[in-house]
Structure 1
Amino acid sequence: MSKDDNIISLIDDNGKEQKFEVMATFDIEEDEYAVLFPLTKEESEDGAYILRIEYDENGDFVLVNIEDEEELENAVSVYEAIVDEML
């Protein structure tokens, strides 16, 4: 797998395309999550994004913002634990 296989494009709220590298995916119970890092310098200053992975009626994955603060905090904690284990 090449690095380009981990690059995805998302459209922001303003209709502007942004490119991200998928750095990791992980599961918490029944839910799947993806950790994305922006490839543009302006966006990269914001750090990583963690989004929930869901699937549409065709079985294609869809990345969804995590609205629930507790769910987001849990996802961040799990990702940080994964990173700590790798170091």
Structure 2
Amino acid sequence: MSFREEEIVVLIDEDGAEVEFEIIEIFELKENKYAFLFPIADEDDEAVIMKIVKENEEEVLMDIEDDAEWNSVVEAWEDIIDELESEEESLELEQDSNQ
């Protein structure tokens, strides 16, 4: 199975409860793939970033346990968000100038 954006996945939280997440974005960093997931039902749950690894020819989501890797992934995610916001602002300015 390969993960894709807008797919719904079920993760088990620290209390053993199932929580549904939507994959918002899949991105690559240093030859690794990561997924940004947002909780569907409970807005109090936090969004998470998980590493996508191949295990027995299937992709699985894994926690990022290495602090240096985590810091790099968070920085890359923040860069993606900044780029998306910049593109959105450019589109808004373009639309405003066309009116």
Per the shorter chain, which TM-score range? 0.7 to 0.9
Map 1:1-87 to 2 at 5 A.
5-41=6-42, 44-57=43-56, 59-87=57-85
RMSD (CA atoms): 1.5
Pairwise CA distance, 1:46: 4.3
Against the structure 1 CA distance between its residues 11 and 46, is the aligned structure 2 distance closer, same or farther, given a 3 Å change threshold? closer
Unaligned runs of 5+ in 2: 1-5, 86-99
Give the total of aligned pairs: 80
Question: Gaps (5+ residues) in structure 1?
Answer: none
Task: State which structure, 1 or 2, has the greater radius of gyration over its C-alpha atoms.
Answer: 2
Distance in 1, Cα, partners of 2:51 & 2:75: 14
C-alpha distance 46-19 of structure 1, shift in aligned 2 (>3 A): closer
Question: What TM-score does the superposition give when structure 2 sets the normalisation length?
Answer: 0.72
Q: TM-score, normalised by structure 1?
A: 0.81
1:12-63: CA deviations, max 9, x gaps?
344321100101011111111000111132xx33432011000111x21110
% same residue: 38
